[in-house]
A and B are shown apart, each in its own frame.
Chain A
Amino acid sequence: MLIKSPKQSDLKEHQITDESVYLQRRDLIKKMGFVGAGTLISSAIPSVANANGLDFFSSKPEKTFQRYALNFTPDSTKNSEILTPEAKVTSHNNFYEFGTSKSDPVKNAQSFNVKPWKLKISGECDNPYTLDLDDLTKSFALEERIYRLRCVEAWSMVIPWVGFELAQLLKKAQPNSRAKYVAFETLHDPEQMPGQASRRLGGGIDYPYVEGLRIDEAMNPLALMSVGLYGKTLPAQNGAPIRLVVPWKYGFKSIKSIVAIKFTEKRPASTWNILAPNEYGFYANVNPEVDHPRWSQASERRITSGGLFARNRIDTLPFNGYGEEVAEMYSNLNLRKNF
């Protein structure tokens, strides 16, 4: 059943960045193409937050990935932090399937075709099942969750996701007693994902991207299957049509464009752990005490709005500030060893 509370969500609409800001990016690129960079300097467009002004050679996307409004219960987390503008959430993405630069996915993912989509839930369970594209937004009541997203690269955002608890999806499959872990897999489609077709564009990752959680982590009420952000379905570059959001872990755990979820007895592999086991652990809980070998994790830069002089460095909190909800799961775990 869909629960709609338009009054509150209307209010929310005023806070959020309008889609027109996003669309202005294309205007900006057009301007640069036709009139040149000089015009750009004389006509400052401060609202075009997501357009990288140095992308002189990038052509404008032929089309824009279609997003639709969703019905959902407004956020109840009472997160009062300043939201990262939608234009930035949708243009600053680590999604190597569409290129390794953070500005690549918004350029390369616009023609991504999610029809037909199949999300298969299988493995150690009594009721394996498959969801197709429509099921993703209709099988479970959708709710908004405003979460902090902490990237392992020491930047963070605050994002209003729309989705449902992962636990709901998992319980429906009736996992059996051998289900100790949950494994996730991203779509493998080199024809659509240039990063999978070329090692140069894909950053040398062996695709498909895979991730995993312990079953208790997966069942935690904070673990979200997101089908949207800022009130609409996900943009392709953010992991359409469905992605995981695990707010107490570094962003790379929150796998995008998922096609398979599997209950397993053994701990599943995870992509960045395979690639550099000394830098990225299986748990990847946000932890200011344990540095990445190449940078400190004690603080982070919160991306909201503002240029170079935005004083946005803040302390990083254990479990990204969600310790109350999740710390208990790790009471017997050496977090320094199991980073």
Chain B
Amino acid sequence: MKYNVVVFKLFIHLAALLPLINAYYLALTDQLGADPVESIIHFTGIGAFNLLLLSLAITPISKRFKISILLKVRRLVGLYSFTYAFCHLLNFLVFEVQFDWSLFLNEIIDRPYITIGMVGLLTMLALAITSISLLKKRMGKNWQKLHNWVYLAVLLVGIHFYWSVKSEIIEPSIYLFITLMLLAFRFKKFKKRIKKD
């Protein structure tokens, strides 16, 4: 069992890291489309969203099909989603606005789709930091409370994507639909929570 988990984790490391390294290599050498900046921003953005949805799909799938090994890699998938999202932000700062800090801050404040994307990313940052086992133990019940914020984060990411496009809303609509599906699996949990509060 333990051996399987290690192999599975290694697979996830490779599956998440190799495409990322490959994309950066191509972008740095001007082989990632005519505008490597746009390409790398889109690649890391959609990659972060895919991984976030994957991490949220793990619980319902492992429950339904009783595959407990999946739960052991949930944190890792979530952390890679954050890694991609963080790269997405760095790309914007370093390659898109090119360290024009006033433009960077103005865009975050003035553009609703960037504002909510930023809120989503900060939420994920809090989850990433508190994913350390030691902190998880120390936080006790509060840990789960905090990590329920992932449901808000994924909604914000979905709206961020939807608002960012010019007219081609079909792809972001599909993403939003999948997001709502995954949230629907937690419907009971939400109901309980509301009753409790």
Contact = CB atoms under 8 A, between A and B. Distances in A.
Interface of A: 37, 41, 44-46, 48-54, 87-89, 91-92, 96, 100, 102-103, 153, 155, 199-200, 203-205, 275-276, 291, 293-296, 298-299, 301, 303, 305-313
Nearest to B103: A296
Contact of A155 (B35, B106, B112): B35
Interface stretch (B75-83, B122-130, B167-175): B167-175
A54 B39 contact: yes
Which of A291, A306, A308: most chain B CB closer than 10 A?
A308
Contacts of B107: 295-296
Contacts of A91: 33-34
Contacts of A96: 167
A120 to B, nearest CB: 28
Contact of B170 (A49, A87, A199, A307): A199
A96 B97 CA distance: 26
19 contacts: A50-B34, A52-B33, A53-B23, A53-B26, A54-B32, A92-B35, A96-B167, A103-B33, A103-B34, A203-B168, A204-B169, A296-B110, A299-B100, A301-B37, A305-B30, A306-B30, A307-B27, A307-B29, A307-B32
A276 B169 CA distance: 13
Nearest to A279: B166
Given A203-B168, A276-B167, A295-B107, A102 B33 contact: yes
Given A37-B22, A309-B95, 5 more contacts: A48-B31, A54-B43, A102-B34, A308-B36, A308-B40
B86 interface: no
B187 interface: no
B98 interface: yes
B167 A205 contact: yes
B170 A200 contact: yes
A53 B36 CA distance: 10
B139 interface: no
A294 B113 contact: yes
B168 A52 contact: no
B116 to A, nearest CB: 12
Contacts of A53: 22-23, 26, 31-32
A175 B36 CA distance: 45
Contacts of B43: 54
A339 to B, nearest CB: 16
B25 interface: yes
B170 to A, nearest CB: 5
B111 interface: yes
